[in-house]
Amino acid sequence: MKSIFVVLFAILSLSINAQDLCGTEDPETHTMPSQKDIQAEILRLQNADKMEPRIFMVTAHIIKSSTGNFGLSQTQFEEAMAKMNADYAPMNIRFELCGDVNEIRNTAYVTVDAEEAPYLVADFNVPNTINIYFIPNVLNGNGDNICGNANFTSTNKSSRRIFMQNNCVSNGSTLSHEMGHFFDLLHTHSTFYGPELVLRIGCENSGDGFCDTPADPRLSGLVNGACEYTGTEVDEFGIAYEPDPTLFMSYSLKECRTVFTPEQQAMVSLTASGANDYLFSECVELDFVLQDEGESIKVESFADAEGSFTIQSIAQLNSYDVSYEVAALDKWGGETVVDAGSVLVDAGDEVEVGFSLPFDDNFYRYEKIRIKLDEGNSWIETDEENNEIVLGIDHNYVREDAVLIFPQPAADELNIYLNRPGFSDVEIRVYNNSGQLVIEDSFRKTLSIFNKAYDVSNFLSGVYYIVIQHDTGDVETAKFVKI
């Protein structure tokens, strides 16, 4: 009962207080494109009407009470989307609804404050779409009603969203204003880049980072019904502000805000193709599933071991370049990346990827193979858990022989693997078919499995004999064929 009372009270108070502000605060980190890139983008956008628009998928969540009250109407939603699309058309951007409107009937979310917000988002955000929540009451950290707020691109992708308070949806500007934040526009009165001077000195490095948005003292309460600035404030030089009350990103009256400047439009367009390029242009559910061919890789000969895995795409549309990494793990926690790359996977398709485990000095230490997909989280998937598998390595050849010679026959390099437990001082002698000594070597064997490689590229073809003497008294013999 108490919550219903609070809701009713809040809704009543909203009709009186139509000045609810935007709750989006400056981000902790923010990046501006260079003025050169902005100017180039302004020129490019002059032909926006001749280009294919960048479409963004929107997931709309309309929150109602458990009994279905207080929700935004479908008509209000559609009109707001149409208005926003008109505002963003000069930026060559279009917003389309992905699926049906998601109606959330839960009285607990009729009022969303800063504490509840993460739970709402965690429960309902649809990855790779712009999630807009239409909420009867949105409160900031102080418990004040706000018209809306949004996350900049520096926010974790999976938690980005726009909150809209229902009574601000149809005011003509708040939705486009919040979407501006979503594309990294700051308020025109922002001092993220330092105080801004009316004379526009160093404008690209002050205020909101733009040179075509006038210095703005923050317009709340300083704009009259004719959309004229009525303030008398002065900047650091004592010069009176001449802000522009028509700008969407200002705190002017809601109905006065109708303009994104060319630089702001360029910024939005650059952010759309840059930090927001992970957002879908079509309505898809995306998942990459990593499948292995077996539980372990069997190694039975002295050559690079071969393995493979399959990447399956659960998507209705589009091809994706999926990155993978294959690492060999040893029993001491060491890991060596033995293969990495990316492969194009079509919607609904499966691609088999082969890899090899190099037969090198560390070969015997490797115990497992770990395969990972999309380690950089380029894609937000419906399930990230299926992006990693670990395979065993089945070394089932080294146990039998004390000495292993590889390769057989040898052309350029001869490897001698000593597979006798414990340390020993070792002498190796290699003789040709005439009994002449062609290799003589001595060393301390410090590992259970110890590899020595010799250059035999200049040896004549034929059979060679190897004698291995340990200071423990053990002697091993072997032979190899040189080709």
Question: Measured from the CB atom, is 121 or 146 closer to Zn ion?
Answer: 146
Binding flag, residue 24, Zn ion (CB under 5 A): yes
Binding flag, residue 299, Zn ion (CB under 5 A): no
Residue 430 pairs with which residues in a beta bridge?
439, 466
Whose tokens are 């939705």? That residue is 175
CB of 363 to Zn ion, least distance (A): 59
Q: Is 302 left (phi over 0), alpha (psi -120 to 50) or beta?
A: beta
Residue 92, CA distances (Å) to 162, 178, 261, 338 in order? 21, 18, 14, 43
CB of 102 to Zn ion, least distance (A): 24
CB of 27 to Zn ion, least distance (A): 12
Question: Measured from the CB atom, is 27 or 407 closer to Zn ion?
Answer: 27
Question: Measured from the CB atom, is 22 or 198 closer to Zn ion?
Answer: 22
CB of 175 to Zn ion, least distance (A): 11
How many CB atoms are closer than 10 A to CB 277?
A: 11
Backbone angles phi, psi at 136, to 5 degrees: -55, -45
Residue 143 pairs with which residues in a beta bridge?
none
Residue 32, CA distances (Å) to 153, 192, 483 in order? 12, 11, 64
CA of residue 437 relative to chain centroid, distance:
61
Q: Rounded distance, CA 13 to CA 145, Å? A: 9
* Contact predicate 162/121, CB 8 Å: no
Question: Measured from the CB atom, is 22 or 93 closer to Zn ion?
Answer: 22
CB of 179 to Zn ion, least distance (A): 10
Query: Which residue has its beta carbon closest to Zn ion?
Result: 22
Question: Measured from the CB atom, is 24 or 167 closer to Zn ion?
Answer: 24
Question: Measured from the CB atom, is 102 or 155 closer to Zn ion?
Answer: 155
- Angle (nearest 5°) at CA 283 between 279 and 284: 85
CB of 181 to Zn ion, least distance (A): 5
Candidates 21-29, 77-85, 218-226, 369-377 — which segment interacts with Zn ion by CB under 5 A?
A: 21-29
Token reading at 356: 């090899």
Question: Measured from the CB atom, is 176 or 313 closer to Zn ion?
Answer: 176
CB of 48 to Zn ion, least distance (A): 24
* Contact predicate 279/128, CB 8 Å: yes
* Contact predicate 252/227, CB 8 Å: yes
Candidates 16-24, 230-238, 385-393, 411-419 — which segment interacts with Zn ion by CB under 5 A?
A: 16-24
Question: Measured from the CB atom, is 208 or 476 closer to Zn ion?
Answer: 208
Q: Rounded distance, CA 316 to CA 284, Å? A: 6
CB of 70 to Zn ion, least distance (A): 24
CB of 291 to Zn ion, least distance (A): 46
Of 11, 22, 266, 357, the residue at the interface with Zn ion (CB under 5 A) is 22
Backbone angles phi, psi at 218, to 5 degrees: 90, 115
Binding flag, residue 466, Zn ion (CB under 5 A): no
User: Nearest 10 degrees: CA dihedral of 33, 59, 97, 103?
Assistant: -150
Q: Which residues bind Zn ion (CB under 5 A)?
A: 22, 24
